[in-house]
């Protein structure tokens, strides 16, 4: 969420940013916010004047009473009573205007970084760099669920009966591989200095609206009926929420946390063949990383975060590339984002396995995440990035490590987490 003072002083910059994100329907919100802000400040100004006058008159009442001037005292009391009625009215108006202004401000997108390429959607994202040599073997690579089925490692039919489409049972060595990847990712991030955390898997509505846009919330979140709770779509939400309404001494920053959680997503809309199986599902597990830092350090941390994901995938012999997300592909709170994509030998193309985002102070302003500095308090910057999400990681892992004889090679780094196994073979 933008600072209202910034919008008030720089309306043209905000309008131009909205145009860069191809959200022209939001342009009227700028004038609406300015108008609501002016009315709110006018109400605040009148209320402050009345309070000052009321306090002055209240002091006079004591003086009148001390001098025996009862009529003057009663007249002053009557005026104070009139002020109280008007103040109650103004305070109600302030609250109403503040709520309306907050709703508008939460809909206006954050100012994107100057380095972000301008484009309408993800088709205009820009490749930055490739890591590892993408290989297409001479033998045919089956669809990922077919590979799993050969190891008796997945049961979609039973899951469909139990929970519906978008769920699965993982079994045997495939289930073990899933857990091994999560454990390896956890230790990988701990070795890089991050603190391991298992967060709440449900969050309240004030945290939801603090960490994401209304559109994202509607498309992603499952609501717990009858309670002010939502199932998390990613642990980043509860991890950032951990710092809600806090003031952290500057010397304690940065906070660098890596978290494990299950994730739950609606995944609205129809999806193509390449997004079936375990690619786009309602429940999965993920290792995440978040950083809460000083503003001057957020660009540095952004580069470190996406590099962690690249390094992890390369340690498992999976070729990847990084993509700079264009303006139209950025969620409203994001200032800059880089996607990490893994190579799919079967599709002969890359597909997304993680996303790294810098939100600067947007989440911090919504959640009141502040830093106590030498010259006063200021808002922290927040960043997040996927370490690994095994459903998609499993697709990349199986395709890139499948051997011609049908076995799956286990890279050396993962073998300690697989009981020393060097390959998965058909039972």
> Cβ neighbours of residue 313 under 8 Å, at least 6 residues apart?
131, 320, 340, 342, 353, 388, 396
Q: Do domains 4-105 and 122-424 have the same CATH topology?
A: no
Q: Say what the pLDDT of residue 217 is.
A: 79
Q: Say what the pLDDT of residue 51 is.
A: 83
4-105 CATH: 1.10.287.40
CATH topology classification for 122-424:
BirA Bifunctional Protein; domain 2 (3.30.930)
What's the mean pLDDT in 31-47? 95
309 strand-pairing partners: none
Condensed to tens digits (0 to 9), the pLDDT of residues 290-316 reads: 999 999 999 999 999 999 999 999 999
More confident of the two residues 149 and 275: 149
Q: Say what the pLDDT of residue 391 is.
A: 86
Condensed to tens digits (0 to 9), the pLDDT of residues 99-122 reads: 999 999 999 999 999 999 999 999
Least trusted range by pLDDT, from 83-87, 148-152, 241-245, 357-361: 83-87
Distance CA 145, CA 13 (A): 48
Confidence grade of residue 270 (pLDDT, cut at 50, 70, 90): very low
In this predicted structure, the answer to whether residue 130 has a pLDDT above a threshold of 50 is yes
Percentage of the residues of the chain whose pLDDT score is greater than 70 = 97
Q: How far is CA 182 from CA 116, 189, 234, 261, 274, in A?
A: 32, 11, 15, 10, 23
> Cβ neighbours of residue 258 under 8 Å, at least 6 residues apart?
186, 189, 190, 194, 195, 196, 197, 287, 288, 289, 387
Each residue of 399-424: b (16+ CB within 10 Å) or e? bbbbeeeebbbbbeebeebbeebeeb
What's the mean pLDDT in 405-416? 97
Q: Say what the pLDDT of residue 267 is.
A: 77
Q: Say what the pLDDT of residue 351 is.
A: 95
Mean pLDDT of the residues in the chain: 93
What's the mean pLDDT in 169-190? 97
Q: Say what the pLDDT of residue 273 is.
A: 47
- C-alpha 294: how far from chain center: 18
Distance CA 214, CA 372 (A): 30
Q: Say what the pLDDT of residue 195 is.
A: 98
CB 394 within 8 A of CB 181: yes
Q: Identify which of 70, 52, 90, 132 has the alpha carbon closest to the alpha carbon of residue 312.
A: 132
List the chain domain ranges.
4-105, 122-424
Long-range contact pairs involving 294-297 (C-beta distance under 8 Å, separation at least 24): 294/250, 294/253, 294/254, 294/371, 294/380, 294/381, 295/360, 295/361, 295/378, 295/379, 295/380, 295/381, 297/253, 297/254, 297/381
More confident of the two residues 42 and 268: 42
What's the mean pLDDT in 382-408? 95
Place of tokens 């605040």: 44
Distance CA 238, CA 244 (A): 10
Confidence grade of residue 268 (pLDDT, cut at 50, 70, 90): low
Confidence grade of residue 269 (pLDDT, cut at 50, 70, 90): low
């Amino acid at each position: 969420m933008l600072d209202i003072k910034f919008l008030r002083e720089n309306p043209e910059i905000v309008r131009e940013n909205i145009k860069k994100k191809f959200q022209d329907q939001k342009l009227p919100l700028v004038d609406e916010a300015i108008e609501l802000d002016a009315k709110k400040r006018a109400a605040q100004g009148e209320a402050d004047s009345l309070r000052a006058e009321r306090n002055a008159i209240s002091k006079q009442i004591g003086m009148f009473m001390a001098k025996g001037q009862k009529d003057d005292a009663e007249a002053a009391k009557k005026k104070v009573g009139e002020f109280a009625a008007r103040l109650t009215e103004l305070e109600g108006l302030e609250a109403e205007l503040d709520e309306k202004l907050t709703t508008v401000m939460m809909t206006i997108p954050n100012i994107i970084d100057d380095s972000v390429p301008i484009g309408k959607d993800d088709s205009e994202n820009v490749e930055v760099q490739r890591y590892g040599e993408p290989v297409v073997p001479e033998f045919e690579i089956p669809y990922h669920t077919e590979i799993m089925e050969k190891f008796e490692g997945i049961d979609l039919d039973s899951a469909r009966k139990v929970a519906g489409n978008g769920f699965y049972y993982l079994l045997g060595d495939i289930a073990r591989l899933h857990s091994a990847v999560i454990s390896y990712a956890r230790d990988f991030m701990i070795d890089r200095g991050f603190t391991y955390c298992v967060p709440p898997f449900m969050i309240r509505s004030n945290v939801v609206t603090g960490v994401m846009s209304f559109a994202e919330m509607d498309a992603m979140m499952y609501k717990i009926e009858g309670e002010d709770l939502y199932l998390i779509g990613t642990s980043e939400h509860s991890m950032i929420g951990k710092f809600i309404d806090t003031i952290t001494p500057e010397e304690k920053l940065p906070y660098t946390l890596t978290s494990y959680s299950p994730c739950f997503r609606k995944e609205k809309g129809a999806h193509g063949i390449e997004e079936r199986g375990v690619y786009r599902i309602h429940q999965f597990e993920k290792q995440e990383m978040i950083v809460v830092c000083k503003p001057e350090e957020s660009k540095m941390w952004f580069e470190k975060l996406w590099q962690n994901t690249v390094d992890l995938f390369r340690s498992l012999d999976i070729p990847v590339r990084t993509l700079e997300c264009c303006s139209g592909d950025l969620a409203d709170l994001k200032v800059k984002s880089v996607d990490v994509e893994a190579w799919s030998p079967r599709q002969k193309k890359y597909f997304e396995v993680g996303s790294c985002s810098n939100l600067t102070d947007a989440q911090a302003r919504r959640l009141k995440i502040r830093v106590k500095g030498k010259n006063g308090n200021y808002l922290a910057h927040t960043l997040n990035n996927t370490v690994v999400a095994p459903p998609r990681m499993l697709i990349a892992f199986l395709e890139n490590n499948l051997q011609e004889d049908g076995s799956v090679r286990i890279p050396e780094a993962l073998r300690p987490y697989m009981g020393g196994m060097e390959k998965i073979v058909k039972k």
